[in-house]
Amino acid sequence: MELHAEAFWLPKHGSSEAEYEDSFGPPTLKSPQSIKGERIRFAVTDGAAEASFSQQWAKQIARGFVKGSLGVPLTAEELKPLQEEWQKTVHRRPLPWYAEQKAEQGAFSSLLGLEVFEAVNGAATALAWRAVAVGDSCLFQVERGKVLQAWPMGNSADFGNPPSLLCSNAANNGDGLAAAGVLVAAGGCGHGTTFYLMTDALSCWFLREHERGKEPWRILTDLGTDEGQPFAKLVGDLRTAGDLKNDDVTLLRIDILG
């Protein structure tokens, strides 16, 4: 199995790259690359801006999933080491009292994790995928000019409600992650499949365009090529036109080559 994968990301307009609170994995996708293997993982996460230390939490979840320490579906036990690591990182230095209060509440982040693998059925081998989601970051599976999967959100109107999020404080995740709203999906794929993993602002735009009968993936498939426009220009134009919320934006494009 060989995949070509690339990440595109931007902070909010008016914010610096250091203030970007989304994350993705593998982190090496800052440059386009071909990846070979029997089981390959990707993730995008979106740290909640209204909580403190969410940037670090989003990074830990994304990298934890890619490294295989979080399963599909993930469990509270699997999350514990990441929560402990977050606590150590946050308290590496003494915090002011107000920051300490924020740290006690915990940080919050969405998670969208995708695993592509070779599934053996008797003498035949086929490519398959499975995914886990908490929150409103979305996966879109496109083949032959059609959206085969839009998940976990299937409608742009779904973005009006506060999403479920994973918390670095286990007490805020509910019993066994039930309150966190962990969802799982699975399916098949093959040569010619493209997966798009996006955080919420871009996901909402993608679904709204699709609902209008447009094909937004045709814009995204050329990003990073001589034929495509720069990601920063695309996002800037969409924000200026009022078609994209001013938020951190992350996109992973994964093309299955064979």
Using an 8 Å Cβ cutoff, are 128 and 188 in contact?
yes
Task: Using CB atoms within 10 Å of the CB of residue 233, give its burial: 0 to 12 exposed, 13 to 18 middle, 19+ buried.
Answer: exposed
**pLDDT score recorded for residue 33:** 80
Condensed to tens digits (0 to 9), the pLDDT of residues 165-213 reads 998 888 777 555 655 578 999 999 998 999 999 999 999 999 999 999 9
pLDDT digits (tens, 9 = 90+) for 25-81: 998 888 878 888 888 999 999 998 766 788 999 999 999 999 999 999 888 899 999
Decide the pairing of beta strands 33-36 and 2-10: antiparallel
**Predicted local confidence at residue 2, as pLDDT:** 87
**Cβ(197)–Cβ(251) under 8 Å?**
yes
Angle value at C-alpha 235, between 230 and 238, nearest 5 degrees: 125
Q: Which residue has the higher pLDDT, 87 or 5?
A: 5
Residue 173 Ramachandran class (φ > 0 left, ψ -120 to 50 alpha, else beta): alpha
| 45, 62 Cβ separation under 8 angstroms | yes
pLDDT tens digit string along 122-174? 666 789 999 999 999 999 999 999 999 999 999 999 998 888 899 888 877 75
The predicted pLDDT at position 96 comes to: 59
Burial class of residue 89, CB neighbours in 10 A (0-12, 13-18, 19+): middle
Which stretches does DSSP call E strand in the chain?
2-10, 22-25, 33-36, 39-47, 108-121, 124-134, 138-143, 146-151, 166-167, 183-189, 194-198, 249-256
> DSSP state, 197?
E
H-helix or E-strand spanning residue 87 = helix 76-90
Which domains does the chain carry? 2-256 (3.60.40.10)
Contact indicator for 106, 166 with CB cutoff of 8 Å: no
The DSSP 8-state label assigned to residue 37 in this structure reads -
Question: Residue 257: which pLDDT band, with cuts at 50, 70 and 90?
Answer: confident
Q: Residues with Cβ < 8 Å from 223, sequence gap 6 or more?
A: 6, 8, 229, 230, 231, 234, 251, 253
Nearest to 254 by CA among 151, 153, 114, 150: 114
124-134 and 39-47 as β-strands: parallel, antiparallel, unpaired?
Answer: unpaired
